[in-house]
């Protein structure tokens, strides 16, 4: 790569100094490599001057992991090609891709694979512009993690370029654990081989509406306790959305082409619970019947439920769910225009030893007591709710930080779950994680960093402070 391809950052490149968390960074230079050779050339130039490098993909993260704190930005969004694929007799399909390919393009490329069957890659964050490299680096599971499990199951191998300029091919659970979910602290992903699975026979989506929090909470807890089942179908996702989230979406729906045709949600509705069902038609119908009966027992009118099937309609439901995060982020962006110190404030805790109803009531009660606007949505199964605080001033922002810290302390003290989950630690949550997160995980990350990037060149500031915590 020529020096001309290492670009000095100016106002033209400001968008690469921020992510969806609205956390603002800075950098001296930026590059957009399109091959391993160019990655190696940039690394060599940066290594010569002892310049730290921050890796970027689609900049869709919300913890600042891809935001630079000086040095060089290496944006991999132009490394977006599919490589080879293999279809084995046992039904296994492997597809090699570059890290910058996003979920939209990945789906198109999977559709081109010649086969009698249809396949897909199960990790499915609703942000379809997210890149595969970023998804793997953050360890995101997506909407249907309830059914398909964690992302580790769907990565066969990774080509990793370390700060010394060496290329490693990682396979197997132990080796891949050095990269998956490590937020780029070990090196640069230059290629991934993904494991695809066969698409289910059918997929249905059902959204139930409730006119009281109590009915919605009791319904979700009943579902989580009874776990409705059928022989030929399974529940793939259970998603929750409160009225504040619905209002944010409704206010901007006309500007969102993917969901603007959806009917307005009645003002009396206080909560929405969405189910995704996958399998054979008879099994799905059996599951749907069980869910509708339980919903009606909790005063949800099944005649007003949204019931959809088919790929296009399911994608519309995913877009509606993604609009929750998108509109919450837009509210933070509006507040940030008034005060640049404001960033995203969101709880990403996975809870256990507590009911869904008890958890969400506590979130609501505390946010109201602090007099901070909020919206709540996320994965009801596993009680992994995304509580987005929506401060309108820096004073409220500071209150919001204290509120998140309080929730984290309660979670740790009472053994309710984990402080940080699929959104990662990044730069915004590292102080909180160092105090209240898993000490074992933190030490594990430090050990891996020492092993793979002993000079601390790649993604400094993610998960822990390089100088302070390692030196």
Question: Shortest CA distance to 391 belongs to which of 346, 434, 325?
Answer: 346
pLDDT in tens, 375-429: 999 999 988 899 999 999 999 999 999 999 999 888 887 666 787 777 888 998 8
Nearby residues of 447 by Cβ (< 8 Å), 6 or more positions away: none
| Per-residue pLDDT at 3 | 46
pLDDT in tens, 342-372: 999 998 888 888 899 999 999 999 999 999 9
| Per-residue pLDDT at 220 | 98
The 10 Å CB-count burial string (b at 16+, else e) for 327-362 is bbbebbeebbeeeeebbbbbbbbbbeebbbbebbee
Question: Shortest CA distance to 61 belongs to which of 422, 446, 442, 469?
Answer: 422
Question: Which listed CATH number (3.30.70.2740, 1.10.357.10, 3.40.50.720, 3.40.50.300) goes with 334-438?
Answer: 3.30.70.2740
Q: In degrees rounded to 5, what are phi and psi of residue 9?
A: -75, 140
**pLDDT-based confidence at residue 2 (cuts at 50, 70, 90):** very low
Contact predicate 104/315, CB 8 Å = no
| Per-residue pLDDT at 414 | 65
| Per-residue pLDDT at 208 | 98
Average pLDDT over the chain reads 93
Query: Helices 213-226 & 356-369, crossing angle to 10 degrees?
Result: 150
What's the CATH number for 3-78? 3.30.43.10
- pLDDT at residue 468 tops 60: no
**Where do the structural domains in the chain lie, given as residue ranges?**
3-78, 82-198, 202-332, 334-438
pLDDT in tens, 307-347: 999 999 999 999 999 999 999 999 999 999 999 999 999 98
- pLDDT at residue 374 tops 80: yes
Q: In degrees rounded to 5, what are phi and psi of residue 198?
A: -70, 140
| Per-residue pLDDT at 69 | 94
What's the CATH number for 82-198? 3.30.465.10
The model's pTM: 0.93
Nearby residues of 342 by Cβ (< 8 Å), 6 or more positions away: 22, 332, 335, 336, 391, 394, 397
Q: What's the average model confidence in pLDDT over 42-64? A: 94
pLDDT in tens, 202-254: 999 999 999 999 999 999 999 999 999 999 999 999 999 999 999 999 999 99
Query: Class assignment of domain 202-332?
Result: alpha beta
What count of residues does the chain have? 471
The 10 Å CB-count burial string (b at 16+, else e) for 156-170 is bbbbbbbbeeeeeeb
Contact predicate 61/181, CB 8 Å = no
| Per-residue pLDDT at 149 | 92
Give the separation between CA 179 and CA 379, rounded to whole angstroms. Answer: 25
pLDDT in tens, 26-47: 999 999 999 999 999 999 999 9
Give the separation between CA 175 and CA 308, rounded to whole angstroms. Answer: 41
Domains 202-332 and 334-438 are alike in CATH topology: yes
Give the separation between CA 114 and CA 119, rounded to whole angstroms. Answer: 10
Indicate the DSSP class of residue 384: E
| Per-residue pLDDT at 467 | 67
Q: For residue 402, how many C-alpha atoms fall within 13 Å in the half-sphere facing its CB?
A: 11
pLDDT in tens, 144-168: 999 999 999 999 999 999 999 999 9
pLDDT in tens, 62-107: 899 999 999 999 999 999 999 999 988 777 899 999 999 999 999 9
Q: Which residues pair with 159 in a beta bridge?
A: 169, 191
């Amino acid at each position: 790569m020529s020096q001309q391809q290492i670009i000095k950052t100016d106002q033209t490149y400001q968008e690469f100094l921020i992510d969806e968390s609205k956390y603002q960074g800075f950098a001296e230079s930026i590059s957009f490599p399109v091959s391993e050779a160019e990655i190696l050339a940039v690394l060599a130039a940066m290594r010569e001057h002892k310049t730290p490098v921050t890796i970027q993909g689609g900049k869709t993260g919300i913890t600042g992991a891809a935001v630079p704190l000086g040095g060089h930005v290496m944006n991999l969004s132009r490394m977006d090609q599919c490589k080879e694929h293999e279809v084995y007799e046992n039904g296994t399909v492997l597809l090699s891709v570059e890290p910058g390919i996003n979920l939209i393009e990945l789906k198109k490329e999977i559709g081109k694979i010649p086969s009698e069957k249809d396949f897909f890659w199960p990790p499915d964050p609703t942000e379809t512009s997210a890149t595969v490299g970023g998804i793997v680096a953050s360890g995101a599971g997506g909407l249907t993690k309830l059914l398909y499990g964690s992302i580790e199951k769907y990565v066969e191998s990774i080509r990793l370029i370390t700060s010394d300029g060496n290329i490693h091919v990682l396979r197997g659970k132990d080796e891949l654990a050095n990269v998956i979910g490590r937020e780029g602290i070990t090196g640069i992903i230059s290629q991934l081989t993904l494991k695809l699975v066969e698409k289910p026979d059918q997929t249905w989506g059902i959204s139930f509406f409730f006119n009281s929090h109590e009915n919605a909470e009791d319904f979700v807890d009943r579902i989580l306790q009874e776990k409705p089942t059928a022989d030929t179908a399974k529940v793939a996702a259970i998603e929750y959305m409160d009225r504040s989230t619905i209002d944010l979406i409704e206010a901007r729906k006309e500007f969102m082409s993917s969901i603007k045709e959806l009917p307005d949600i009645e003002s009396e509705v206080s909560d929405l619970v969405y189910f995704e069902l996958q399998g054979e038609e008879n099994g799905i119908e059996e599951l749907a019947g069980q869910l509708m009966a339980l919903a009606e027992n909790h005063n949800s009118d099944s005649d007003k439920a949204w019931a959809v099937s088919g790929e296009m309609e399911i994608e519309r439901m995913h877009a509606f769910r993604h609009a929750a995060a998108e509109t919450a982020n837009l509210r933070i962006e509006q507040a940030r225009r008034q005060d640049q110190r404001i960033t995203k404030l969101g709880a990403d805790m996975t809870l256990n030893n507590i009911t869904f109803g008890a958890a969400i009531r506590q979130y609501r009660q505390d946010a109201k007591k602090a007099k901070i606007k909020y919206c709540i949505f996320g994965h009801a199964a596993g009680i992994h709710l995304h509580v987005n605080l929506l401060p309108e001033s820096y004073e409220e922002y500071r209150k919001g930080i204290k509120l998140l810290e309080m929730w984290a302390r309660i979670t740790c003290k009472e053994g309710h779950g984990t402080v940080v989950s699929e959104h990662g630690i990044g730069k915004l949550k590292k102080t909180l994680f160092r105090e209240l997160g898993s000490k074992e995980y933190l030490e594990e990350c430090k050990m891996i960093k020492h092993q793979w990037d002993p000079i601390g060149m790649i993604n400094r500031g993610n998960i822990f402070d390089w100088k302070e915590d390692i030196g």
